[in-house]
Structure 1
Amino acid sequence: MADDCFAHPRLAAIYDPLEPDRGDLDAYVRMAEEFRARQVLDIGCGTGVFALLLAARGIEVVGIDPAPASIVVARGKAGGEHVRWICGEAADLPPLQVDLATMTANVAQAIVDPHGWQETLRGARQALRPGGRLVFETRDPAARAWEEWTRAYSYRVSEIPGTGSVEYWVELLDVSAPLVTFRQVYVFASDGQVLTSDSTLRFRERNEVERDLIAHGFVLDDVREAPDRPGREFVFLARRP
């Protein structure tokens, strides 16, 4: 089940204006070019920002996400008709043969259930053609990113066209390694409505992820740093042999 920040229609509609800087996706665009990908599967596509970046470059993209509200936002964007949108999980994908499968941002960590994680890796491998690659990121637990998930670090007020002023902040709720739970708070000035979205992320160790990939028949080609968060994340590049 998707978190409310993606699944609630009012929150899905403001997700992009609240997160306007998606420079983290530049590295994924470069990798799509590096691997000469012509067909890409974007797992956990959310509101479709990455999928649409690729589609604008002439790449055939399938975007899948479990949150119907986010898929509605993605479909309604300029160029949305050029992407195949699917509401669901990676384990439920139709037959595909893509060159590249991706999980950007927090997608991999948001799959906290061990069975769900294994099913996601299985689904991704099945969707890849032989020689195709799976690329995703996950935060290094040693960096303790959750220490900055507080109101003091995160509070901001955004003016969103058509919506008005929205206050936003994050509250850390629980750290029970490897799981970290936090709450996002949204206050809409137009009518005073307060909405919250609770999320849990799983902070997997590098060797754990490597074992899981190998167990699902992947060859691990590389583990890189995220250019936008050096020293804080692992970016896994795995290949279906």
Structure 2
Amino acid sequence: MADLDRRLVELYDDDNPDGPDHDFYRALADESGAVSIIDLGCGTGILTVTLAGPDRRVVGIDPSATMLDHARGRPGAGAVTWVHGDSRQISGTSADLAVMTGNVAQHIDDEDWARTLRDLRGALRHGGTLAFESRNPAAEAWRGWTSTERTTRDTAHGPLEEWSQAEEVAPGVVRLVASNRFTDTDETIVETVTLHFRTRSELERQLHAAGFAVTAVFGDWQRGPVVESSAVLVVTAVAR
């Protein structure tokens, strides 16, 4: 599979800035007293570097070499161990905390999802914490992802024209096609991703099968309850 376009990776942090989601994970790391943390699907490392510290070992893992190249250039990147790959590249069995942020869980298909959870269970000590979020399928966020018109914004690489189309191709499975045209060079980069929208009960069942006990499912980053309109399911679980 082709890696991500470097120009689009450079825009990633602008489109996905530090915010309440990262505050949630940082607070969880502090509350749990974690000294060994795995950030699976770390992307550009915007959160990863802020989890690191003098008394913490942090590993950032991502399947995109371009994302990792960007992460390695961040201030503070030297305090993180960066690994190219997926959960199969996790080493060790005594991590205190593992996180998957930016809806990483939704990018993993069902077969690989079961393996990913097992790999994470194997990487955590007994009682270690796994935390991640996934969009609430009841909110049907994908219905607002199809562009009715193209938009253009200025970037360091010139004007960028953007449009997208989303379609539910199976129950809970959405294909998103995002088109990005750099108008100065007339280059169009098309990114196609398949996203899996899992219900709360599905996630709880899958985590239990992988050796976890679910400790909480929140409906927002302030740890509120899940309601029908909740945009996100924020899950914490402990390794049994």
The TM-score with structure 1 as length reference comes to 0.88
Within the alignment, does 1:50 sit opposite 2:47 as a pair? yes
Secondary structure of the residue aligned to 1:84 is strand
What amino acid is the match of 1:125? R
2:233 maps to what in 1? 234
Write the distance in 2 (CA, Å) between the matches of 1:106 and 1:64.
15
Task: Judge conservation of contact 1:92–1:123 (CA < 8 Å) in 2.
Answer: no
2:187 maps to what in 1? 193
1:9 maps to what in 2? 6
1:140 maps to what in 2? 136
Question: Aligned residue pairs: how many?
Answer: 235
Comparing 187-196 and 124-133, the one that deviates more:
187-196
Give unpaired runs (5+ residues) of structure 1.
none
What amino acid is the match of 2:212? F
2:69 maps to what in 1? 72
Secondary structure of the residue aligned to 1:53 is helix
Matches within 5 A, 1:1-241: 7-20=4-17, 22-55=19-52, 59-112=56-109, 114-152=110-148, 156-160=151-155, 162-227=156-221, 231-241=230-240
Deviations 1:53-103 (A, max 9, x none): 212686321011111111111111111111101011102312242111001
Q: 1:236: how far off?
A: 1.2
Secondary structure of the residue aligned to 1:32 is helix
Deviations 1:152-183 (A, max 9, x none): 49x543333x3232222321144321210011
Task: Judge conservation of contact 1:62–1:86 (CA < 8 Å) in 2.
Answer: yes
Q: Closer, same or farther in 2 for the Cα pair 1:31/1:57, shift >3 Å?
A: farther
What amino acid is the match of 2:194? T
Task: Judge conservation of contact 2:44–2:70 (CA < 8 Å) in 1.
Answer: yes
Write the distance in 2 (CA, Å) between the matches of 1:233 and 1:57.
32
Task: Judge conservation of contact 1:183–1:199 (CA < 8 Å) in 2.
Answer: yes
Task: Judge conservation of contact 2:18–2:46 (CA < 8 Å) in 1.
Answer: no
Give unpaired runs (5+ residues) of structure 2.
none
Q: How high is the sequence identity, in percent, across the aligned residues?
A: 37
Q: 1:124: how far off?
A: 0.6
Write the distance in 1 (CA, Å) between the matches of 2:104 and 2:218.
17
Higher helix share: 1
Secondary structure of the residue aligned to 2:102 is coil
Q: 1:234: how far off?
A: 1.1
Secondary structure of the residue aligned to 1:185 is strand
What amino acid is the match of 2:9? A
Structure 1 runs of 4+ aligned residues shifted over 4 Å read: none
Task: Judge conservation of contact 1:223–1:235 (CA < 8 Å) in 2.
Answer: yes
